[in-house]
Structure 1
Amino acid sequence: MFQVFSLLVEIILVFALTAALLHRYGDWKRQNAMIVFVVLISWYFSLLTVFVLPLDISSTAYRQCLQSNVSTALNETSFRDPASCKEPWSYIPDRVFQRLWRIVYWTSQFLTWLISRLTPPLCLNFLGLIHMDSHIIKSHILETQYTQIMGHMDVISIISDGFNIYFPIVMIIISTATYFNVGSRLLSIIGFPQYFADDEITEDIVTEGQRLAIAEKDRRLRKGLLAKNEAAESSSYRTEQTNRRSRRDPGSGENLPEPKPTGVLKKTNRYRSRSLSASSTDSYSSSCTGSSSDESDTSPRDKEQRNSKGFTDFCIKNINLHAFGRREIEIAEQEMPGIMALRKRAAEDKPLKGAKIVGCTHVNAQTAVLIETLAELGAKVRWTACNIHSTQNEVAAALAEAGFSIFAWRGESEEDFWWCIDKCVNAPDWQPNILLDDGGDATHLTLKKYPTIFKSLKGIVEESVTGVHRLYQLSRAGKLLVPAMNVNDSVTKTKFDNLYSCRESIVESLKRCTDVMFGGKQVMVCGYGEVGKGCCQSLKALGCIVYVTEIDPICALQACMDGYKVVKVNEVISDVDILITATGNKNVICREHIDRMKNGAILCNMGHSNTEIDVASMRTPELMWERVRSQVEHVIWPDGKRIVLLAEGRLVNMSCSSLPSFVVSITAATEAVALIEMFNAPSGRYKADVYLLPKKLDEFVASLHLPTFDAHLTELTDDQAKYLGLNKNGPFKPHYYRY
């Protein structure tokens, strides 16, 4: 009885171990229940075989000893003492194992999953490899209950029982080689660069697949709803017309005049007019950014496009918008003195002559000024958008009309997004030699699909927090093949674009989308970097009660000294009216947090991409999504609670408002100077690592913008410069100086 109890305890412990492994590595909460059940059973039976089979073998060995004694006693005159066969402490009666293995066998068959059927023999082979059952298998005198139920795996007659040893060895070798990427490493050694063992890229691919599935599901749902609404309106219109025809003037007996049909509008025009009347979200783009019904239904990738000069190497929404786009660009030029001054100074020298630049940034009027400046400096460019919602279609049209290879339109799908980047990187008669990236997407696609391009690449210029993080990860892993310039942490980017720009654009975005009154609202800002600081300053100035979440004790202390309460998300999530993420991280706000937010709370992102807020976790059957304005979604819970999600969790200031052109001028000039430095740097100055922009160039960018304010710098005397140990012309601060 004790042995049977021990077996029962072992079975329970093995199940607990299986459940723990599935919880730790299987992400079971997000999987289908049937998949979780099948995996749990298959893992459980595999581990059960490994842990319980030795008990079956020891019990069988004991029974074999008893049987041998009986046979010897029958053949010999002297009787052998049965006590010479020592009963093992783990001895289990035969009937118990018979029932156990039958349950395992028939359950495996019922699941009809091949690996569940093959796993038990494989585990037997493993035990054979370590000689735990060598006596039983080799002699074939008395089989275990396991082999009687499951059978042997002598699948290759020539090798016969040798398969029980060779097969596990081969499996162990293959598994080990796969785990350590031996094949990829060998290919890299012999000159074929491989992209391997990058958890972040693997995760990006999985996330991309999930997004594509969600986007397709939403597209079909919207299409069905639009068709249903249109059919209902048409039916209502026909009914109304019929009723009107049936009514007659009682005095004359004649029909009343029929009104002109006004009840049914084109579906795209109706929805667009609703968006424009309800919100000024898109006011920074021309109203002509919209399109007709035919244009909305046809993807730009499916249309033949040509500008007035016959140029076709571009893909945009509507080339006919180019005149409006040119107006937007000219307006932006008036507020971008720094980049225009750089264009004027360097146009004759052509410092970028021979440069072939792939750009992946936001496509708007300010970016267009940068693109045309790079062209004036001698570069050839191919450009795409780093955000599917931030493109100004009329600006993209103006660039295409001017002869630039631009691949971007507002409202791209995930598939369109990656297709556009691919078209910029890989094109006939095109070998890029420098990348300008925002977020690292172009860099990582090039690494994954076109690693040979890095042989001709001079470097990468990255302007975002997320992209810089990814570059440093590549550098630490030894996979960064070219030099990279970290523009994001240059002073002219961090202090102006991240701080001053976000300080204004966050308020404008929230106002345009929600018309919210800020006074007295409780706001949580996740992250107190430069972007977070700017958001907190403007919201506090408008009377908001601001909470901050931080992982860095230095930033947290700054927040405390600036008068903000530093908290954990869970502490105030149920009380806040507005939640803003500004971390550059992923899954900062997950479904667990969102479920606890109060009715009517506003959720938006000022970081990068749409990974800071786990939007995918809200795409579930029990939640209903309702678009109430352009870039404004109401996510409705079964109990009626609504959460207001802006820009689908993407950059709210780029999707729902505009950036001050002057601030973008500082960033654009910094990027242009970084490209010039990277392209013209002598061989050997920069290794395959991540570098900050030289301080002298930072100061040069700042000096380009001072004349706008009629600012006059004080010059050091020779004696003062000697005393400070500085050059009179700069740089004036060391790299470690904190502005």
Structure 2
Amino acid sequence: MAKVESGRRKIEWVKNHMNVLNYLKELYKDEQPFKDVNVAISIHLEAKTAYLGIVLHELGANVSITGSNPLSTQDDVVEALKEYGLNVHAQRTLDQDIYWKNIEKILESNPNIILDDGADLGITLMNKYPEKVKNLWGICEETTTGVKRYKSLYRQNKLPVPVILINDSYMKYLFDNRYGTGQSTWDGIIRSTNLSVAGKTVVVAGYGWCGKGVAMRAKGLGANVIVTEVDPIKAIEAIMDGFSVMKMNDAARYGDFFVTVTGDINVITKEHFLKMKDGAVLSNAGHFDVEVKVKDLEEIALSKREVREGVEEYILPNGKKVYLLGKGRLVNLVNADGHPVEIMDLSFSLQLEGAKYIKENHEHMKINVEPVPYEIDQKIARIKLDTIGVTIDELTQEQKDYLNDWK
């Protein structure tokens, strides 16, 4: 019961701070737009995701929910969520068999709509349960890694249903990817290590929206920031934002903290580990545990031990120590609570609106991968402004005519 009470308190806390989602719940409560709709969710299962599931359930959906990463599930939230009438199968574990069995359990619900984070749920349905595709109307995808996978399926003409790219929608990537990842990544690092960031050198691998957020927060904490990139345009952007830019091979010798946010494999490997300072801290904020090549670290290390919760010390052949956080998985979720509540309020409001759009339009939607319609982005933005008491100007008809005139 203690675990249930702990999870319940977490859910109650986020409920009190997710004002946009609460607005939408009140707006649609009489309409019950998801009545008898089977919604399957695979998103990092902590309190904010739980509350999204509860809201969908209260709006009529039959909700089945699991996690989207082996170590990002919070077991107390899972136990509490079962009391809300949702079909829950999730567990914090490194056992891949348990993780995939939970995914498959969720798919037994024959989903009409999938809310995905990383594409594991949707792709498993397509690969292992093709007979269930006929029940599926569409998918909303939360994150960059899932977008990459669904776009690949689309290019190969293997995508059977439309996918709404929540990640590529303005009200997601401008805030979730930048301010959410920026704050929560450092939350995970600082909680784990209790070390100062000020005066240290931080190496950020990748300068997309997530990398921008991580670098910006590091700078705000007083760090010297080095960015590594493969995209020349993003590299110039990082330079003009005031950061040093160099190859990882060169940056390896300077970093006190390393954060990977690229979505690709083998960003930090053996050659880099061996050049690092004694005491360098390694972390990853990309969806999968493939950016810091842990296999290389395991192979070359003379010894390994856990020195703090979520912190593993590796002693290298040169006698230096490096520290890996969260086993190379998402540091902001494995070693902390993920993005701030108000940030996920925006992203999960987009998920709800995206699901509603699929429900109302699936019979006419073409198979495609694209963001939510711009009107939905604007709707969520206006609701957010309203909930914080901010009003903005509107164009007069004369101004609209001027902007639309070619003269």
Normalising by the smaller structure, the TM-score range is over 0.9
Distance 1:511 1:700 in 2: 35
Secondary structure in structure 2 of the residue aligned to 1:619: helix
Counterpart of 1:351 in structure 2 is 33
Deviation at 1:373, TM superposition (A): 0.8
List aligned pairs for 1:477-496, cutoff 5 A: 477-496=156-175
Structure 2 match to 1:690: 369
Aligned to 1:660: 340
Q: What is the match of residue 515 of structure 1? A: 194
How far does residue 621 in structure 1 lie from its aligned partner after superposition? 7.6
Match of 1:295 in 2: none
In the TM superposition, residue 617 of structure 1 has moved relative to its aligned partner by: 2.7
8 A Cα contact 1:586 1:612, kept in partner: yes
Pick the aligned partner of 2:227 from 538, 544, 548: 548
Letter in 2 for 1:511: I
Q: Which runs of structure 2 are paired with 1:355-366 in the superposition (5 Å)?
A: 355-366=37-48
The question of whether the paired residues in 1 share the 8 Å contact of 2:138 and 2:362 is answered with no
Contact conserved, 1:358 with 1:382, CA < 8 A, in 2? yes
Aligned twin of 1:416: 98
Matched, 1:385 2:67: yes
Q: Which runs of 5+ in 2 are unaligned?
A: none
Equivalent residues of 2:65, 2:106 under 8 A apart: yes
* Structure 1 unaligned residues grouped into runs of 5+: 1-318, 727-739
Matched to 2:345, the amino acid is: S
Instruction: Tell me the equivalent position of 1:397.
Output: 79
Q: Is the 8 A contact 2:93 2:99 kept in 1?
A: no
Deviations 1:408-440 (A, max 9, x none): 122341111111111111x2xx32111111011
For residues 77 and 98 of structure 2, the distance between their equivalents in structure 1, rounded to whole angstroms, comes to 19
Question: CA–CA distance in 2 between the matches of 1:440 and 1:579?
Answer: 27
SS at match of 2:274: helix
- Aligned counterpart in structure 2 of residue 472 of structure 1, from 151, 157, 163: 151
| Structure 1: distance between partners of 2:332 and 2:347 | 16
Shift of 1:722: 3.0
Q: Residue 715 of structure 1: SS of its match in structure 2?
A: coil
Matched, 1:636 2:315: yes
On the 8 A contact 1:523/1:547 being kept in 2, the answer is yes
Tell me, yes or no, if the aligned pair for 1:466 and 1:608 is still in contact at 8 Å: yes
- Paired amino acid for 1:325: G
Q: Distance in 2 between matches of 1:359 and 1:348?
A: 23
Deviation for aligned residue 1:516: 1.4
Offset at 1:570?
0.6
Quote the sequence identity (%).
37
Give the drift of 1:637. 2.1
User: Larger relative CO (CA 8 A, sep 6+): 1 or 2?
Assistant: 2
Do residues 566 (structure 1) and 245 (structure 2) align?
yes
For the residue of structure 1 that corresponds to 2:266, the secondary structure is coil
**1:682 Cα deviation after fit:** 4.8
1:709 to 388, 393, 401: 388
Query: Structure 1 length as normaliser, TM-score?
Result: 0.53
* 1:549 shift after superposition: 1.1
Q: CA RMSD in A?
A: 1.7
Partner of residue 185 from structure 2, selected from 498, 506, 529:
506
Cα 1:576–1:682 shift into 2, 3 Å = closer
Distance (Å, rounded) in 1 between the aligned partners of 2:126 and 2:23: 35
1:596 Cα deviation (Å)?
A: 2.3
Q: CA deviation at 1:622?
A: 5.0
Structure 2 CA distance, aligned partners of 1:622 and 1:329? 41
- Cα drift, residue 639 of structure 1: 4.2
TM-score (norm 2): 0.95
Give, in whole Å, the separation in 2 of the partners of 1:323 and 1:683.
Answer: 42
User: Do residues 673 (structure 1) and 353 (structure 2) align?
Assistant: yes
Q: Which amino acid aligns with 2:281?
A: I
Aligned-partner Cα distance in 2 for 1:598–1:682: 54
Higher helix share: 1
CA–CA separation in structure 1 for the residues paired with 2:21 and 2:114: 19
Distance 1:585 1:577 in 2: 22
After superposition, the C-alpha distances for 1:151-205 in whole angstroms (9 at most, x for unaligned) are: xxxxxxxxxxxxxxxxxxxxxxxxxxxxxxxxxxxxxxxxxxxxxxxxxxxxxxx
Structure with greater proportional strand content: 2
Matches within 5 A, 1:170-569: 321-425=3-107, 427=108, 430-569=109-248
Rounded Cα–Cα distance in structure 2 between residues aligned with 1:438 and 1:377: 22
Rounded to whole Å, the distance in 1 between the matches of 2:123 and 2:46 is: 23
The one of 577, 580, 584 aligned to 2:259: 580
- Give, in whole Å, the separation in 1 of the partners of 2:13 and 2:64: 23
Question: In structure 2, what is the equivalent of residue 120 of structure 1?
Answer: none
Measure how far apart 1:320 and its partner are: 5.4
Distance in 1 (CA, whole Å) between partners of 2:302 and 2:176 is 36
Task: Indicate conservation of the 8 Å contact 1:320/1:397, yes or no.
Answer: no
User: 1:398 is matched by which residue type in structure 2?
Assistant: A
Q: Which runs of 4+ in 1 moved over 6 A?
A: none
Residues matched between the structures, number: 404
Letter in 2 for 1:521: K
